[in-house]
A and B are shown apart, each in its own frame.
Chain A
Amino acid sequence: MSSLSQVIVAVEKHRRSGSEQVQRARTDHEFAERVLQRWQEAKQKIGAAMTPTGLRLPRLALPDLDEVGEIARFLWDEGLPGEFPFLTSAYAEQYLDPASGEPTPHVGNGEKTGSEEPTRLFAGFGLAEDTNARFHYLSRNQRSQRLSTAFDGPTLYGVGAGAEGVFGKIGEGGVAIDTVEDMERLYAGFALDQPDVSVSMTISGPAPILLAMYVAAAKHRFGPDVSVKLRGTIQADVLKEVQAQNELIFPIEPSLRFLADMVDYCSQQMPRWYPISISGYHIAEAGATPVQQAAYTLSNGFAYVDYFLNRGMDVSVFGPRLSFFLDCGLDIEYVALSRICRKIWAIGMRDAFGADKRSQILKLHTQTSGRSLIAADWPNNLTRTALELMLACMNGTNSCHSNSADEPFTTPSEEYARYAAHAQAILLEESGLFKHMMNTLQGSPGMKAVGNAVEKAILEEFRAIEQQGGVVGAVERRYQRSQIQAAAHQLERQIYGGIRPVIGLNRYHDPDANWPEVQMIRTPKEKKQLQQDRLQDFEKRHAGEHLQSLDRLSRVVEQGGNVFGELTDTVEHCSLGQITKRLCEVVGKFRPMV
C-alpha cells in the first residue's frame, strides 16, 4: 500500500477510534481513571492571566466536561495544546505577549523562543541595498528580526540580471541577487549568528544555489563555523512549482535530488535551518479551492517524506526540518483548515511513517490571501487582510505575514507594509483576543463542523491523487494543475457572474469613487544597469577560477555526491546565471506544463 493510502486509512481509523475511546472510558474503570487523572493534571497546569481591566482568566480554556466519555473524546479528537493530534496548537504555548510579564506558560517548552512575535517582515525590491534598508526600517521596533525575502524574476528563474531580454525585470517584484556579494549586501547589519534573527527566502527553483550563497555570505562575516547558528527557512518546494507556481528550472527528478542533498546537508550541519517550506500558498493563489490547497500541500509533504526515505535518510533527522506555508483567505473553510492540516500531518507522520513527536508537528507559516485583494476600492483590502489574519491566528499559525493593501498594484510601499505589520500587532498585542487566553476563539461547534467537512474533503482528494498514480504520477499527468486551473476558471466565472460577491467590484461598486493613488515602487533604469555592471564585474574578477569550479560541480552532480555541499564553494567564484546554465547542461531543463 502506498504511503498516501496508509495516511488515508490512518486518519479514518483515528476518527472511528474516537467513539471507541468514549465507550472504553465509560466501561473500563481503569482506563477511565487514567483519563480523569490526565484531565485533572492538564487543568492544574493552566496558568492564570490578568487583563488590564482586572479580569482573571485561564491562559488556556478547556471545555466544561464532567463526564469521562466526553473528556476521552476531547483528548482524542482535539488533544491538548502541543499534544497529539495538535488540533489546538503545535506547541503548548502560543501568542504570549512578553511585554505583560504575565502570565506564565502552563507547560514548559524548549523548542521555541516563546517571546518572539509571529510577525514575519516581508520585503524584496530593487537591489540588495534597497531591500536591506527596508528590512532595517520594518524591524526597527521589533523584539526579534524575522526577515522574509522576495526575489525578482531573473533570480527566481536562475538566469540572473545578465540574461537576454530580462533587463526590465531586474529588481521588480523582488530583489535582484546574482552573486554571493549581493547576498552580503542583502542582510548587512543584521546579526545572522544570533538566535533572535531568522531569515526566510521565498525561492524554489534555484533554492540550493541561493542558500549556498547565504551560507557563504554569512561565513564571510561571522567566520567558517557560523552554519550551525544560522536560523531560517528556504522555500525549495519543487512539487508546488510544477503544480502551480511555474518557477522550476531543472526537471523534476534532478530538482528533487538537489533538494534532498540540501535537506540532508542542513539536517547534519545546519540544525536551526528549515530547508524546505512545503507550500500551499501558491497553489491557492493560482486559484485552487481551500480543500485543494490543503490536500495538495499535505500530499506533497508526504511525497517528500517518501522521497527522502527512499534515499536512505532518517525521518527522525529530517522530519523536524520540514515546515509548511499556507494561504488564508475569506472562504469558510479557513475557519478550520490549518488545524485539520495539523491533525492529518500528525496522524500521517506517526502512523504511516512511524515518525516521532518532533516530526509529527506541522510547523506553520501563514500568509493572508493576495488573490483576495483587488484593485477596485483598494483600501478595503485592509479589512480583508485583517479578517484573514484573525482566521490564521484562530487556527494557531506559528508565524504570519499579512499582505499590504496596495499589493494588487505594486511591491508594498513603506506606508502599507507598515500598516500590514501593525495589523498583526493590533490583533495580538492591542486586542485582547489572543494575548490573555491562547485559544479564545477555538473549538466552537461551528469550527468543528467546518473541520469535519474539510477533513472528509481532503481525504477525498487524497483518493483522487492515488487514482492518478500517487503524487508524482498525478503531477506528471497534470492532475493537480488541471484541477487548480478548473477551480480558478470557476472562481472567475462566479465573480463575473455575481454569484461570489466581491465588494467594490461586483457589489456596492461606485463608478465615481476616488480611490487614493498608490505609490508605485519601481526600480529605475540606472539601478538595473548597476546590477548588470556588478554582475559583469564579479564574473570578470572570477574569470580565472569559475570554469574549474563549474567543472568540479558537474563532477559532483554526475558522481552522485552532495551537490549542496559543493555549491557552498561554487558560489564563491560563480554567479547564479553561470551555475544554473551549467547545471542545465548536465541535467536538462524543466519542460513547462500548461
Chain B
Amino acid sequence: MPTIRILTAVPICDGHDSAINTINLEFVRHGIEVVYLGYNRSARDIVRAAVQEDVVAIGVSSYNGGHVEFFEEVLDRLDQLRLKPMIRLFGGGGGTITRDDARIMSARGVHRIFFAGTPLAETLAYLRATYSDVVQPPYAPSFMGTDQMLSRELTLAERDSAGEKTAPEQVPMGSKPGRKAKVIGVTGPGGAGKTTLIDELTYRFLRSRPADQRVAILSHDPSMVGSGALLGDRATIIYSQDDRVFMRSLATRGQAGGLSPSTRRCLEILRRSEQFQIILVETIGTGQEAIPFGMEGLPVDHAVLVMPPDYGSRLQLQKIAMIDSADAIVVNKSDSQGSRTAFAEIEDRMRFNQNSQMLLRTQANRHRDPGVDQLFQKIFGGG
C-alpha cells in the first residue's frame, strides 16, 4: 500500500495551530506523511504546495472565521489547474464551522468537515478509508512543462524506489540529460539553520535574477519509526513561497545518511526538466559520520556544510567527516556565543585538508546578512 501523503495548513491571517499540531502528530504516529505548511498561509501558497508535493489531500484547520470564502478560494485554485477532483480538501475549525457552513462548503466541493469534539481516531479512519489506494497515474504529454507533471514524475520515482507497484515504463524521464542546473547540496547538524539559509539564498536569487529563472529545493525530513513523517520545512520558509520556486519534501523512509532512497532519481528528474538554474538539496540534520554528498554520496556541484557554533568540543570537530569534503563550510548563528571560537577551530581543522575550501560566517536569521550575501555570490555565482 502506498504511503499516504497529505498537506496540512492554517489559513491566512490565522495563527491557531494548536489543533493542527496535535492532529499532525497523530497522523505521523500512524504512518502518514504530512507536509505541514504552517499557519497564516494563503490559498495560493497552499495550492502551490499541494501541487509541488503531489499530495492526495489538503487538510485546512481554520479557527479565525472566513472559512467559507477561504475553502472556496482553495477549491477555485485547484479547479483552475484541473486538480479539483484529484486533490481533495477536508478541514475543521472546532465550533467555528457550523453545520450550515459545512453544508455550503460541501456543496462547493469540500470533501469533509470535522466538527468540534471529533475524536482523533475518527479523522484518522477517514484518511485511511479515503486515501489509502489513490491512483496517481502519469500525466498526459499535454501537461509537459507544468509543475504538476514534474511533481507526478517525482511521486512515481519515489514510489518506485520504495518498491511500490509502479511498472518501470510508468516512470517517465526527461529526454536529454540537462546541463543547465547547478546543484548545491546543503547539510549539517539539526538546528544549524540550513532551512533558513536556503530560504535566504533563494530570496537573493529571486531578487537578483530575471523573472523567468527558477530554483528547485529538494528538502528532506526524517521518517519516524512506523513510516510516517512530518515534513515541516515549508512551514518555516517565507521568501520561497513563490511560483518561481519548486520545492519538494522527501521523507528518509528508513535510509540513513540524511537523504531518501529516491533522492538521486528525483534530482535527476529535476535536472532533466531543464526548468531550474539552481537545485538545492537539503539533508536532514546529520550526524558526525554522514557524507551525503560528493564521491561517496550524491553528486553535487557544491557541497555546503552548515555548522552551529555549539558543536561541542574540538575533539567532536575532528570527527565530522563532511569538513573534509565540503566545498564551503558556513558557521551560522555568528551572533551567538562561541562563534568566534568555532570559526577559529574549524579554520584550524581545515588546514589539514588538501583541496581548496571556503569558510564563511553567516547569521542567516538576520535581514540582509552580509555573510549570506557573500555565500550567495560564491555559490550561486553572483548575478
Instruction: Give chain A's interface residues, CB within 8 Å of chain B.
Output: 152-154, 156-157, 159, 164-170, 172-173, 245-247, 251, 253-254, 285-287, 374-376, 378, 408-411, 477, 485, 488-489, 492-493, 496, 505, 518, 520, 522, 587-589, 591-594
Q: When the two chains form their complex, are residues B116 and A172 in contact, meaning their CB atoms are under 8 A apart? A: no
Question: In the complex, what residues of B have CB within 8 A of residue A157's CB?
Answer: 12-13, 40
Question: In the complex, what residues of B have CB within 8 A of residue A410's CB?
Answer: 95-96
Q: When the two chains form their complex, are residues B13 and A154 in contact, meaning their CB atoms are under 8 A apart? A: yes
Q: When the two chains form their complex, are residues A165 and B119 in contact, meaning their CB atoms are under 8 A apart? A: no
Interface residues of B in 137-195 (CB under 8 A from A): 191
**B42 at interface, CB cutoff 8 A:** yes
Q: When the two chains form their complex, are residues B235 and A594 in contact, meaning their CB atoms are under 8 A apart? A: yes
Given contacts A168-B66, A408-B116, A410-B96, contact A592 B40 (CB under 8 A): yes
Q: When the two chains form their complex, are residues A166 and B17 in contact, meaning their CB atoms are under 8 A apart? A: no
Q: When the two chains form their complex, are residues A375 and B95 in contact, meaning their CB atoms are under 8 A apart? A: yes
Interface residues of B in 14-70 (CB under 8 A from A): 14-18, 21-22, 25, 36, 38-40, 42-44, 64-70
Besides A152-B65, A591-B365, 6 more A-B contacts (Cβ < 8 Å) are A166-B13, A374-B95, A375-B115, A477-B191, A488-B22, A518-B95
In the bound complex, how far is the Cα of B36 from the Cα of A152, in angstroms? 24
A106 to chain B, nearest CB (A): 44
Q: When the two chains form their complex, are residues B13 and A156 in contact, meaning their CB atoms are under 8 A apart? A: yes
- Residue among A168, A170, A253, A587 with the most chain B CB within 10 A? A168
- Residue from A154, A408, A489 within 8 A of B25 (CB atoms): A489
- Residue from B116, B120, B199, B236 within 8 A of A374 (CB atoms): B116
In the bound complex, how far is the Cα of B63 from the Cα of A152, in angstroms? 12
- Output the nearest chain B residue to A490 by Cβ-Cβ distance: B22
Question: In the complex, what residues of B have CB within 8 A of residue A166's CB?
Answer: 12-13
Given contacts A375-B115, A489-B21, A496-B121, contact A591 B196 (CB under 8 A): yes
Q: List 20 A-B contacts (CB under 8 A).
A: A165-B70, A166-B12, A168-B65, A168-B69, A169-B12, A169-B65, A172-B64, A172-B66, A173-B64, A246-B15, A374-B117, A378-B95, A408-B94, A409-B98, A410-B96, A485-B21, A493-B120, A496-B120, A505-B117, A591-B237
Q: When the two chains form their complex, are residues A165 and B43 in contact, meaning their CB atoms are under 8 A apart? A: yes
In the bound complex, how far is the Cα of B115 from the Cα of A165, in angstroms? 24
**B232 at interface, CB cutoff 8 A:** yes
B20 to chain A, nearest CB (A): 10
In order of increasing CB-CB distance, the 4 nearest A-B pairs are A168-B69, A153-B13, A172-B65, A588-B367
Given contacts A172-B66, A376-B116, contact A520 B38 (CB under 8 A): no
- Residue from A251, A374, A493 within 8 A of B365 (CB atoms): A251
In the bound complex, how far is the Cα of B21 from the Cα of A410, in angstroms? 22
**B238 at interface, CB cutoff 8 A:** yes
Interface residues of B in 324-381 (CB under 8 A from A): 365-368
A289 to chain B, nearest CB (A): 13
In the bound complex, how far is the Cα of B18 from the Cα of A376, in angstroms? 19
Q: When the two chains form their complex, are residues A591 and B65 in contact, meaning their CB atoms are under 8 A apart? A: no
**B73 at interface, CB cutoff 8 A:** yes
In the bound complex, how far is the Cα of B42 from the Cα of A164, in angstroms? 8
In the bound complex, how far is the Cα of B368 from the Cα of A587, in angstroms? 9
Tell me the dominant secondary structure on chain B's binding face: loop
In the bound complex, how far is the Cα of B121 from the Cα of A245, in angstroms? 27
Given contacts A286-B18, A374-B116, contact A594 B36 (CB under 8 A): yes
- Residue from A168, A245, A376 within 8 A of B15 (CB atoms): A245
Question: In the complex, what residues of B have CB within 8 A of residue A247's CB?
Answer: 15
Q: When the two chains form their complex, are residues A594 and B12 in contact, meaning their CB atoms are under 8 A apart? A: no
In the bound complex, how far is the Cα of B12 from the Cα of A411, in angstroms? 18
Question: In the complex, what residues of A have CB within 8 A of residue B365's CB?
Answer: 251, 591
Question: In the complex, what residues of B have CB within 8 A of residue A169's CB?
Answer: 11-14, 64-66, 69-70
In the bound complex, how far is the Cα of B365 from the Cα of A167, in angstroms? 31
In the bound complex, how far is the Cα of B67 from the Cα of A156, in angstroms? 17
Interface residues of B in 119-140 (CB under 8 A from A): 119-121
Given contacts A154-B13, A169-B13, A246-B15, contact A492 B120 (CB under 8 A): yes
B228 to chain A, nearest CB (A): 15
Given contacts A251-B365, A488-B21, A496-B119, contact A592 B96 (CB under 8 A): no
In the bound complex, how far is the Cα of B119 from the Cα of A172, in angstroms? 27
- Output the nearest chain B residue to A473 by Cβ-Cβ distance: B336
In the bound complex, how far is the Cα of B40 from the Cα of A153, in angstroms? 9
Question: In the complex, what residues of B have CB within 8 A of residue A587's CB?
Answer: 367
A143 to chain B, nearest CB (A): 33
Given contacts A376-B116, A591-B196, A592-B40, contact A408 B66 (CB under 8 A): no
Question: In the complex, what residues of B have CB within 8 A of residue A173's CB?
Answer: 64-65
In the bound complex, how far is the Cα of B236 from the Cα of A152, in angstroms? 23
Given contacts A165-B44, A168-B68, A173-B65, contact A589 B117 (CB under 8 A): no
Question: In the complex, what residues of A have CB within 8 A of residue B15's CB?
Answer: 156, 245-247
In the bound complex, how far is the Cα of B366 from the Cα of A570, in angstroms? 26
Question: In the complex, what residues of B have CB within 8 A of residue A493's CB?
Answer: 120
A583 to chain B, nearest CB (A): 11
B21 to chain A, nearest CB (A): 5
Question: In the complex, what residues of A have CB within 8 A of residue B44's CB?
Answer: 164-165
In the bound complex, how far is the Cα of B232 from the Cα of A591, in angstroms? 13
Question: In the complex, what residues of A have CB within 8 A of residue B38's CB?
Answer: 592, 594
Chain B 244-281 against A: per-residue CB contact (8 Å), 1 yes, 0 no? Answer: 00000000000000000000000000000000000000
B284 to chain A, nearest CB (A): 16
Question: In the complex, what residues of A have CB within 8 A of residue B238's CB?
Answer: 589, 591-592
Question: In the complex, what residues of A have CB within 8 A of residue B199's CB?
Answer: 591
Question: In the complex, what residues of B have CB within 8 A of residue A245's CB?
Answer: 15
Q: When the two chains form their complex, are residues A591 and B236 in contact, meaning their CB atoms are under 8 A apart? A: yes
Q: When the two chains form their complex, are residues B236 and A153 in contact, meaning their CB atoms are under 8 A apart? A: no
B252 to chain A, nearest CB (A): 19
Q: When the two chains form their complex, are residues A488 and B12 in contact, meaning their CB atoms are under 8 A apart? A: no
Question: In the complex, what residues of B have CB within 8 A of residue A374's CB?
Answer: 95, 116-117
A356 to chain B, nearest CB (A): 33
A58 to chain B, nearest CB (A): 45
Question: In the complex, what residues of A have CB within 8 A of residue B68's CB?
Answer: 168
Q: When the two chains form their complex, are residues B116 and A375 in contact, meaning their CB atoms are under 8 A apart? A: yes
Question: In the complex, what residues of B have CB within 8 A of residue A165's CB?
Answer: 12, 42-44, 70, 73
A150 to chain B, nearest CB (A): 11
Question: In the complex, what residues of B have CB within 8 A of residue A522's CB?
Answer: 65
Chain B 90-105 against A: per-residue CB contact (8 Å), 1 yes, 0 no? Answer: 0000111010000000
In the bound complex, how far is the Cα of B117 from the Cα of A408, in angstroms? 11
B7 to chain A, nearest CB (A): 14
In the bound complex, how far is the Cα of B70 from the Cα of A375, in angstroms? 22
In the bound complex, how far is the Cα of B196 from the Cα of A168, in angstroms? 31
Question: In the complex, what residues of A have CB within 8 A of residue B69's CB?
Answer: 167-169
Given contacts A251-B367, A591-B365, A592-B238, contact A518 B98 (CB under 8 A): yes
Question: In the complex, what residues of A have CB within 8 A of residue B119's CB?
Answer: 496
In the bound complex, how far is the Cα of B67 from the Cα of A410, in angstroms? 12
